[in-house]
């Protein structure tokens, strides 16, 4: 089996956004996260949703994330410079569902003598 990168659990994580690098790293993880996040804006408003895109500009003002909000239709664009806080609030729907995890389950079933083991996706909920 190939070497796998250990993924840190980040559900419910509240990253410290002390400097621009911390903010950029946290938003990069939020982009890779397969659950909802809550962004608190510098104005105090909160947006909860799923980040589906991010663009890195030369500054925090020209860098942004785009998300699908849970509370309003359409796509919302948020500049990195407008982010005051970030919380990973939703369940990570991809946690534990890597190819390596599926392969491990497959070999466990095969070793237990099960027959006709097929590649079937697990339900998300």
Q: Kindly indicate the confidence band of residue 3, based on its pLDDT and cuts at 50, 70 and 90.
A: very low
The dihedrals phi and psi of 72, each to the nearest 5 degrees, come to: -145, 150
Count up the domains in the chain and report the number: 1
Indicate whether 1 belongs to any domain.
no
pTM above 0.85, yes or no: no
pLDDT at 97 over 80: no
Indicate whether 124 belongs to any domain.
no
Indicate whether 66 belongs to any domain.
yes
Domain range spanning residue 101?
A: 8-119
Could you tell me the CATH number of the domain that includes residue 37?
A: 2.30.30
Residues 7-23 have pLDDT tens digits of 556 765 677 787 899 99
């Amino acid at each position: 089996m190939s070497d796998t990168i250990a993924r840190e659990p980040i559900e419910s994580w509240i990253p410290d956004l002390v400097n621009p690098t911390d903010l950029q790293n946290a938003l990069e993880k939020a982009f890779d996260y397969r659950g909802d996040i809550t962004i608190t804006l510098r104005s105090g408003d909160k947006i909860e949703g799923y980040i589906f895109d991010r663009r890195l500009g030369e500054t925090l003002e020209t860098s942004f994330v785009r998300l699908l909000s849970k509370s309003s239709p359409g796509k919302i664009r948020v500049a990195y410079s407008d982010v005051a806080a970030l919380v990973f609030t939703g369940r990570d729907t991809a946690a534990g569902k890597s190819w390596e995890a599926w392969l491990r389950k497959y070999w466990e079933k095969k070793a237990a003598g099960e027959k006709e083991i097929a590649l079937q996706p697990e339900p998300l909920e």
